[in-house]
Structure formats: C-alpha cells, structure tokens
Structure 1
C-alpha cells in the first residue's frame, strides 16, 4: 500500500507540474506569436515608410529606445538582457520583442489577456482533488493486491501455527494456488508427512517394545521370587538370584519410563480434583522395592482431605518419578512427603539433585536408572504449567510440585 501510494503521489505531482507548465507555455507561446506577427508588420513598415506604425492589436506599443520602456523595465532589462517577459506595477504584465536593426522595442501589455492566472487557483484545486482521488484509488488497489497476495501465506501460517506434535496437518497444500506459496506449502506438507510417519514409528516401537519386554521380565521376577523362597538354596546361589532380581527391578523401571515417554504426547486430559493421599500411598507401595535392605523411614504428612487440581495421569507419573528418585538415592535416613502451602514437598537426605538433573540421561551417583525420570517430570510440568522447584538445605534435597489451580472451597 505504501509503495502504490508513494508511486501514485509521485505521478500525480509530476502530472500537476507538467499541466501547469504546459498551460503557461501555451499562453506565453500565444503572446510571443502575436508579437512576432506584429514585429513583421512593423519591420516591413519601417523598411518601406522609414518609421514605425501604430500597432493594430490593443495593448501593444512601439518604443524608439529601451529607455522609454514603462514601469522601470529599462533597469531590469539592463540587469537581465536575455529576458523578454516582465511583471510590472499594479498587476501589469509585459512581453517584449526587440525590433532590429536599431534599439526599438515592441511591448505588449497583456494583463487583460492573461488566461492562466485567473484560472490558476481552480487548476491547482482540481489537480489537488484529482491527486487525492488517485491516492485513495492507489491505496485501495494496494490493499486489494496485498490481501490477494498474502492471503495464501496467511492461511499457511495459520495452519502451521495450529499444528502440534500430536496433530500434524495434512492436505492443506491442495487449497493454495500454484505459485511460490503453493510450492512452499507442498514442500512443508511433505516434510510434515515424513515427520508424522517418523514420530508414529518411534512411538509404536517404544510402546510395542516396552509391552513385549514386560512379560518376560514378569516371568523372570516370579522365578527369582520362587528361587529365593526355597530353603535348600546355597548362599552363593541366593546371592546370584538376588542380583538377578535387582537387575529385573531396574529393567522394569526402565520399561515403565519408556512407556511414560510413549504416552507423554497423549496426556491431554483436563485437570480435575484429585484426592492426594490415595495417589501418594499407591505410589509408595509401587516404589517400596527400592527400599528393600535399607534403613529408610518414610514420613508421610498429608491430610486425608488434601486435594490437587491436576490431570490424574500426569500427577501419577510425576509422583512415581519423584518418589522413586528419592527412594533410589536414599541409603539410610528419612524420606519426607508433606503438603506445605499449596506445594507437595518430597525431601530426602543428600545434595545431588539440581537443575542439571533435569537434562535427559543425567544420572546421580546413586542412580541405577538411565537418568530420564526427572527429565520426564520437567517436561510434563512445563507442558501442564505445574510449578516445579528444587531446594538443598541442611544436607537434604527437596523437590516440590505445585498443587496448582485448586478450586475454592464450597462455602456450604
């Protein structure tokens, strides 16, 4: 719009300038033509009669010398000897023609015959309104062209902006014109199709592999439990079976982590009111095997009526990782789980957890996993706008999640 408007304004100004210049040149040419005709008559009369005749056209006069010119023209002519048009006093206007040979001058006072000067205001006004009209038309044309040219790009931008990893758009390139934007859309659509296929393959592989692994692991764990229950097992054999059982537990935690990763994109359920204590107790029971053989006490200070306003699946995954991480890193001492001012604090002895632990595959010294747990927690909390903080105080690490957005209590 700016380009069209600027170009239209420039053309209008140039057009107006040339119009004004043209009318002035036409008027001057008319007066100069009359002077030339009269000069021929005067020169012929002077050549045949030896003197100057009275001009036939009104407003014209012959002056024998330049000194007799009116309205101070002699002085001005002396300053500008090449000039043949002068403005006089009281609105008079003169055109001059020298009669050669000699110093005689043919002078036409044309103030009564001027056509352009009385019309100048109207001409300029007409040019101004015309320029304004052209400017408005140029802006409208520029806006129409801009919308027509950018509409496909805007639609493409909206399609890309609404895309998400779980919902990649397809088939949008067919509705766009066959131009540069259409070519870009087709290329982008092909890329999204390949990305979606890649994501589906990775998700299906993770899900299928994890499910396929859980069955043989359950069989191995059951066999280890039966072997450990035998009384005739030699001590060294019992130790080896214990190592196998620990490895099975580690593999089961890894498989559960992979399942969480596979399900992460599908955790789109809305937040609801969740009773906090039953969820925590169930997670503690699930993670209790991590504390076998350790002098560890769990201090649970959560009221029975404590509530959270979070997606239940997300809350379960986050608590499983945080409580499991606290159990895994505690060799002895107390693991505390408490609600404090809208936050759930999980505290255990040690100082090895911090911001660096949020990176994938970042493992602590006591970790038997693959360093994915806290990374999953951080991603889920960021996606669902759940507050997450770390604190290290008096040789204890505290990880807290916000029980956010709890609805107000019913006054009844």
Structure 2
C-alpha cells in the first residue's frame, strides 16, 4: 500500500509536469491561449487569479514542484501539487489537486481488480503447467509404480519396459526388468536347493531311524547284560539326534517359504502337553516330571509343526544347560515362559546364544510376529515369548 501511494504521487507529479510543458509550448506559439481550468489541472498566468486561500500558501515559494495542504483544522483537508515555472521573466503557476478519497478508492478498486485478475491468470497457468507435468512426467511414473505393485512374481520376470514410451523412464523400467530376472533365477535356485534338502536329507534320516529301530529290537533278544543296556542307551541317543535333525530340517524348510498356507488356530495347551510327553524320557529329567502350568484353551495362530519345533528347542536347551528338577514351564493366553537354573558344572550362559536351536526359535518368533525375550539373572535363565 505504501508503494502504491508513493507511485500514485510520482505519477501525478509526472503528469502535471508533462501538461505544464505542453502548455508552455502552446503559450510560446500563441500568447493569447487560455486554458480551461479544472480540479485536476489549472493554469494561472496572472497571480491575482489564484484563489485566495491557495495564493496565501504559495506566495514566496521558489521555482519548482511543491505540495500544498489547504484547509488544516477543518473537516476536510485538501492537497495540491503546485508547479512554478518562469517564462519571459514572469511566473506561471500550474496547480493540480490530489485525488479525493472517493477517487483514491476507485483507483484502488481498479488496482485490486487488476491484481485479482493477475492471480486468477497465474493460478490458471500454474494449473495448466501442473496438469502437463502430471500427464507427461508424474503419470508415467505412477503407471510404472502400479505395474510393479500388480506384478505377479510367480508368472516370471517382469516386462515393464514394453509399456514405457519415455526414454528416461524406459531406462528405469529396463533396470527393473533385469533385477526381476535375477530375482527369478535366484528364487529358482533356492527352490531347487530346498527340494534337494527336503528329499536328500529326509531319506537318509529315515533309513538311519529304521536301522536303529531294527538294531534296538534285535538287542532286546540278547540277555540283559550291562553291554546290552549301554547299547540301548546309545541307540536311544542316536534316535534323539535323528529326531532333532529332522525337526531342524522341518523348521528350515518352513522358514524358507515365502508364504504359509492359511490354517485354523491351534490348541497351544494340547500341543505343549504333547511335546512334554515326548520329552519325558530325556536323560536330563531322570524320571522327574517338568513343572508346568498350562492353560488348555490357549489358541495360537501358527502352524502346529512350527510351534512344536519352537517348544521342543526351548525345552531341550533348558534341559541341556540346567540342573535337575529346575525346569518350570508356564503357558497363558498372552505368553509362554520357560525358566531353569544353570548347571554349575556347565560354563555359565552369559550371552543370548544357545546355538542353532535358539536361533531357529528367534526366526520363528519374528516370522509369526511374537516377541522374544531372554533374561539371565545370577543362575536363573528365563525365556519368554509374548503372543
């Protein structure tokens, strides 16, 4: 607003000077020329014709442009621009009255209309530019993103480059196609390795297990000597090792899957009791039962085989590193807790690493979305899994 008022004043001064110069030129041509005075521009060759109030204000002023305020103290205050010029030894007074408030607001209104029109035109131009950018730059990128989201990996490598017309975006699409091809080859190799593990490792384990069963049956026909008991012990130990290896293979194969089939919720209490019964003959228990507090109505959203592998690994680790009669298991709707006291004859477990078994447990918890917590306090070791 300040700049606008200053510009208005400069503009009016320039107009007054221009009109005065034009009158001087006409007067020099014809000294009888008379100007029809108006409020916007008046010419006084004879100082006596100047209005009395204005004459008192401009008398004695030097040549040049002056701003005169008249009517001070009254209800209305007028402002004049007075240009005094000399011609042939006489003074000529050019007077222009500054626009009244109504005229000022009219001019301001026109200026606001101009600014509003400018803003509307700028907005329309900006929207058009944005539409062009979106159509020729953003929309192709969005189409490529949608193609990536809808891409089915099982159908094979992608072909995004065929749907891109822009050269720059086509380079990106070709890079994505190359990456998808590498991923497809990698997945195919992983699937082949998984099939080999599933077949080639399970078969010898099955053969070893059946052979151990036959040897155990044959040994029972022999007299019950100390050697026969030792033989039974070693056979049972080998069978447990086969069971552990088989569970590890199952866990690795399940964790290697990209997605799991949707299954109904399993009964956590029943699965826990089944695992405890299978481990009741573990040498570390020596005929002692595991202290347990199990809620039978616990439902878990997890493949039953993975939950059994998880629980089996946790209990085996606790039995192998704990003292007799120290294992305590608790299962509720919100968590599974297994605690024991470390065996003093075994190196204290001050770290969170119990080997491959516990690492598999961590992977299962991460895949299912459970929270795994491990705590060692003095001689007590506690593992908690929050569902």
Fold-level similarity (TM above 0.5):
yes
Conserved 8 A contact 1:390-1:398 = yes
Q: Which residue of 2 aligns with 1:268?
A: 260
Deviation per CA, 1:190-244: give whole Å up to 9, x if none.
3244234324422431342242012123323443454564459x99999899879
Q: Secondary structure at the match of 1:70?
A: helix
Q: Does 1:194 align with 2:186?
A: no
Q: Does 1:401 align with 2:380?
A: no
Q: Which residue of 2 aligns with 1:38?
A: 23
Conserved 8 A contact 2:295-2:333 = no
| Matching of residues 346-361 of structure 1 within 5 Å | 346-350=338-342, 356-357=351-352
Conserved 8 A contact 2:328-2:340 = yes
Q: Which residue of 1 aligns with 2:359?
A: 375
Conserved 8 A contact 1:85-1:94 = yes
Aligned residues: 359
Residue 368 of structure 2, aligned match among 376, 380, 384: 384
Q: Which residue of 1 aligns with 2:73?
A: none
Structure 1 pair 100/273, CA: closer, same or farther in 2 (3 Å)? same
The structure with higher relative contact order (CA 8 Å, sep 6+) is 1
Deviation per CA, 1:291-328: give whole Å up to 9, x if none.
24863633253568433232233423322322333344
Q: Which residue of 1 aligns with 2:83?
A: 96
Structure 1 pair 345/113, CA: closer, same or farther in 2 (3 Å)? closer
Q: Secondary structure at the match of 2:381?
A: strand
Q: 1 CA distance for matches of 2:56 and 2:156?
A: 88
Q: Which residue of 2 aligns with 1:122?
A: 109
Give 5+ residue unaligned stretches, structure 1.
1-12, 46-51, 365-370, 405-412
Give 5+ residue unaligned stretches, structure 2.
71-76
Structure 1 pair 336/397, CA: closer, same or farther in 2 (3 Å)? same
Deviation at 1:249, TM superposition (A): 5.3
Q: Does 1:61 align with 2:44?
A: yes
Deviation at 1:169, TM superposition (A): 9.2
| Matching of residues 9-408 of structure 1 within 5 Å | 25=11, 31-43=16-28, 55-58=34-37, 59-62=42-45, 70=55, 72-73=57-58, 78=62, 83-84=64-65, 86=67, 88-89=69-70, 91=78, 93-94=80-81, 96=83, 98-100=85-87, 102=89, 104-111=90-97, 119-138=106-125, 140-141=127-128, 144=131, 147-148=134-135, 149-153=137-141, 170-171=158-159, 175=163, 178=166, 180-181=168-169, 183-227=171-215, 229-230=218-219, 231=222, 250=241, 253-254=244-245, 256-264=247-255, 265-266=257-258, 268-270=260-262, 272-284=264-276, 291-292=282-283, 295=286, 297-299=288-290, 301=292, 305-313=296-304, 314-330=306-322, 332-340=324-332, 342-350=334-342, 356-357=351-352, 362=353, 364=354, 371-392=355-376, 395-402=379-386, 404=387
Conserved 8 A contact 1:96-1:105 = no
Deviation at 1:255, TM superposition (A): 5.3
Deviation at 1:374, TM superposition (A): 2.0
Q: Secondary structure at the match of 2:330?
A: strand
- Give the RMSD, CA atoms, in angstroms: 5.0
Deviation at 1:377, TM superposition (A): 2.0
Deviation at 1:130, TM superposition (A): 1.3
